Amino acid sequence: MTAPVPLTLLYVPGDRPEVVRKACDSGADAVIVDLEDAVAPDRKEYARSATVELLSEPAAGAAVPIHVRVHTEADVLALAGLPGLAELRLPKITHAASVHHIAAVATGVALCPLLESALGIEHAYSVATSHSQVRSIALGEVDLRTDLGVREDAGLDWSRSRVVVAARAAGLAPPAQSVFPDVRDLDGLSASCAHGRALGFLGRAAIHPRQLPVIERAFRPTAREVEAAEQILEAAASDEGALALPDGRFVDAAVVASARRTLALAARTG
């Protein structure tokens, strides 16, 4: 059975192994150990060795899947094949060739290319279909915002939709949203998640545990959405083809499929 797509992914710096261990008990669906931006240059070698030690433990990844955002090919070489590694997140990917190269080094490891530039967005579909080890794609919005010279958040919406469409066209799960940088603004996070969900994202990366419940609530179906989905499936079970519900809603195969996804998401535990 395919594992459910994580709704909450918590970033933690790789040079703080004690924080990584706490993150595994935070309630996040997945933990992302960061060897890139969250680690100072003079701490990167220590971060790598600490992460290798952690992921070499037999129980590593037992509580939640552990992903690692790598910084260099040396990170990939050190981590590939470790029993506690669930996925490698590949920063600043611009071409499918880069993914092919990493996949050859990390045979069999699930990969998530991060698109963080205009060139990466332009090649979103070719990156998403570049290799069978690619299980998801995602945006890196901080770098993308700088590359595009975007000041307002709405300026990223076209790029966001491009990535959502590329993932769907490639047969991948919907991408998770990029991080919301203000850990104190939970109302802003909630509104941003609602907007991301409307664009087709599923789940979100976080940089602090206090953000996790907000993200979880934002991406789980509401009671009204669950009730509507149940009504659709009940109607579809008693009829074939397209039909109209008593409230005027039109139901066809695509609507039924969407209702099934809603109920599957509502049924998730954790």
Q: pLDDT of 102-124, one tens digit each?
A: 999 999 999 999 999 999 999 99
Nearest-5° Cα angle at 32, 62 to 154:
140
What are the CB-based long-range contacts (under 8 Å, 24+) for 74-78?
A: 74/48, 75/35, 75/48, 76/102, 76/105, 76/106, 77/105, 78/48, 78/49, 78/52
CB–CB of 183/13 below 8 Å? no
The model's pTM: 0.90
- Report the C-alpha gap between 270 and 257 in whole angstroms: 24
DSSP 179: P
pLDDT at 2: 55
pLDDT digit string (tens) for 176-210? 999 999 999 999 999 999 999 999 999 999 999 99
pLDDT at 248: 67
Question: Residue 267 above 50 pLDDT?
Answer: yes
pLDDT at 4: 75
**How confident is residue 1, by pLDDT bands cut at 50, 70 and 90?**
very low
Structure tokens at 192: 């941003």
Structure tokens at 204: 């979100």
pLDDT at 62: 77
